[in-house]
């Protein structure tokens, strides 16, 4: 099988050269892909939902089609989404907004856009007009994006495929304080499973941003350029059969999870993921969590300020419910992370702590 991370020896100059190169890579990758696997993924998602019990709407906020450099038509992506257990697939092509017209009247589909900014890309959902970025600064382009779209985020913040962002480029994301959303799982050039070294780096970056007091909502986006890529990872939102407007409200509230398998939920003092909790030094806090995966769970971690503060090893159990009492001592946030038996990951949005200084 081709190493997906190999760099091309020669620079690829034209779009045709780039696309031929990508097509060759896809053909090699697809050889190992059994056609039934997407359906199996969808069955796992459905079985996990029933185990989990709480209603969840699952979206893929990040896919491409033949409206940009995707190798598929919008209806094929919709069908792939249905097979993979995704409730809403967003067509987020790069520089066009013709996908907006194409998804109209297609149930389970919506639209967005993914233009480039200075070094990073910017994802937009539901934008009214096409964003032409100026590529001057990530925060300035983000400001322009937010004027056109009710929800925006940073895709693949550490890099994707053969692209690695430098530390300097990653550090530009601090300009997006006090709050933004970014993918912690991106499935570009991946089918079946999404999590790889860029995602591991994205999670480290996420914890650094959070520890610096920046509120960062985690997303999972397949970044599929062929229908088979859909289902490799996704974003879950509490609530059954949410409309696109409700999805966007949840995303803006930071009330979501990023996953490639497990479902999870986290409450601190009864407040859900994405909440800001006013706390005092020394205050006892009560945390509850629920994690499910039909394939069985390998580990569950409660993470605070980049460190696993509590770890459970469920020994292949498919459902874990846990409560934990801890004392607040200056932590910025707490989040939940789970691994299924086959190593598929899920990350909850954090609950954030605001220290009450009152007299």
Is residue 155 involved in binding Zn ion (CB under 5 A)? yes
Q: Which of 166, 169, 162 is nearest to 188 (CA)?
A: 162
Q: Which of residues 120-149 bind Zn ion (CB under 5 A)?
A: 121
Residue nearest to Zn ion (CB): 121
* Structural tokens at position 173: 């994301």
Query: Quick one: DSSP state of residue 31?
Result: T
Least distance CB 6 / Zn ion (angstroms): 19
CB of 223 or CB of 337, closer to Zn ion: 223
Choose which of 223, 260, 293, 337 interacts with Zn ion (CB under 5 A): 223
* Structural tokens at position 217: 């909502």
Phi, psi angles (nearest 5°) of residue 150? -70, -15
CB of 114 or CB of 199, closer to Zn ion: 114
Whole-number Å distance between alpha carbons of 56 and 74: 24
- b/e per residue, 234-243, with b = 16+ CB within 10 A? bbbbbbeebe
CB atoms within 10 A of CB 120: 23
Whole-number Å distance between alpha carbons of 246 and 326: 33
Tell me the window of 69-77, 154-162, 200-208, 235-243 that interacts with Zn ion (CB under 5 A): 154-162
Tell me the window of 136-144, 222-230, 242-250, 345-353 that interacts with Zn ion (CB under 5 A): 222-230
For helices 37-52 and 74-84, the axis angle rounded to 10 degrees is 50
Phi, psi angles (nearest 5°) of residue 28? -65, -45
Is residue 183 involved in binding Zn ion (CB under 5 A)? no
CB atoms within 10 A of CB 281: 11
CB of 120 or CB of 267, closer to Zn ion: 120
Q: Which of 134, 125, 133 is nearest to 92 (CA)?
A: 125
CB of 71 or CB of 121, closer to Zn ion: 121
* Structural tokens at position 38: 């997407």
Least distance CB 172 / Zn ion (angstroms): 15
* Structural tokens at position 233: 């990872």
CB of 196 or CB of 293, closer to Zn ion: 196
Per-residue binder mask for Zn ion (CB under 5 A), 75-104, x = binder: ------------------------------
**How many residues line the site for Zn ion (CB under 5 A)?**
4
DSSP calls for 78-145 = HHHHHHHT-SEEEE--SS--HHHHHHTT-TTEEEEE--B-SSSB-EEES-SS------S-HHHHHHHH
Least distance CB 93 / Zn ion (angstroms): 9
Least distance CB 220 / Zn ion (angstroms): 13
CB of 121 or CB of 344, closer to Zn ion: 121
CB of 93 or CB of 293, closer to Zn ion: 93
Least distance CB 28 / Zn ion (angstroms): 20
Least distance CB 68 / Zn ion (angstroms): 9
Tell me the window of 140-148, 205-213, 217-225, 254-262 that interacts with Zn ion (CB under 5 A): 217-225
Q: Which of 347, 349, 344 is nearest to 44 (CA)?
A: 344
CB of 95 or CB of 288, closer to Zn ion: 95
127 contacts 159 by C-beta, under 8 angstroms: no
Tell me the window of 118-126, 164-172, 198-206, 228-236 that interacts with Zn ion (CB under 5 A): 118-126
Is residue 260 involved in binding Zn ion (CB under 5 A)? no
Residues that bind Zn ion (CB under 5 A): 114, 121, 155, 223
């Amino acid at each position: 099988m081709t190493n997906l991370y190999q760099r091309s020896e020669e620079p690829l100059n034209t779009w045709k050269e780039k696309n031929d190169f990508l097509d060759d890579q896809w053909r090699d990758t697809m050889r190992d892909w059994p056609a039934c696997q997407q359906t199996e993924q969808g069955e796992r998602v459905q079985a996990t939902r029933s185990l989990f019990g709480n209603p969840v709407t699952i979206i893929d906020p990040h896919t491409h089609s033949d409206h940009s450099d995707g190798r598929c038509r919008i209806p094929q992506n919709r069908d792939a989404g249905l097979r993979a257990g995704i409730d809403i697939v967003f067509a987020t092509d790069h520089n066009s907004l013709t996908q907006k017209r194409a998804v109209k009247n297609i149930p389970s589909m919506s639209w967005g856009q993914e233009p480039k900014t200075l070094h990073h890309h910017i994802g937009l959902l539901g934008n009214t007009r096409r964003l032409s970025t100026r590529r001057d600064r990530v925060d300035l382009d983000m400001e322009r994006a937010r004027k056109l779209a009710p929800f925006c985020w940073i895709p693949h913040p550490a890099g994707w495929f053969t692209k690695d962002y430098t530390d300097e480029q990653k550090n530009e994301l601090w300009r997006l304080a006090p709050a933004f959303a970014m993918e912690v799982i991106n499935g570009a050039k991946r089918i079946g499973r999404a999590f790889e070294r860029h995602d591991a780096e994205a999670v480290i970056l996420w914890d650094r941003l959070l520890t610096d007091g920046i509120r960062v909502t985690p997303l999972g986006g397949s970044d599929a350029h062929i229908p088979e890529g859909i289902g490799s990872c996704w974003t879950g939102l509490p609530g059954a059969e949410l409309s696109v407007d409700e999805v966007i409200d949840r995303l803006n509230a930071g009330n979501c999870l990023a996953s490639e398998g497990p479902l999870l939920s986290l409450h601190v003092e009864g407040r859900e993921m994405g909440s800001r909790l006013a706390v005092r030094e020394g205050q006892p806090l009560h945390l509850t969590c629920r994690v499910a995966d039909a394939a069985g769970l390998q580990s569950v971690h409660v993470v605070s300020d980049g460190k696993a503060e509590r770890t459970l090893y469920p020994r292949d159990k498919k459902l874990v419910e846990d409560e934990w009492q801890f004392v607040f001592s200056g932590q910025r946030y707490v989040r939940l992370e789970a691994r299924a038996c086959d190593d598929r990951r899920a990350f909850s949005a954090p609950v954030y702590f605001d220290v009450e200084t009152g007299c």
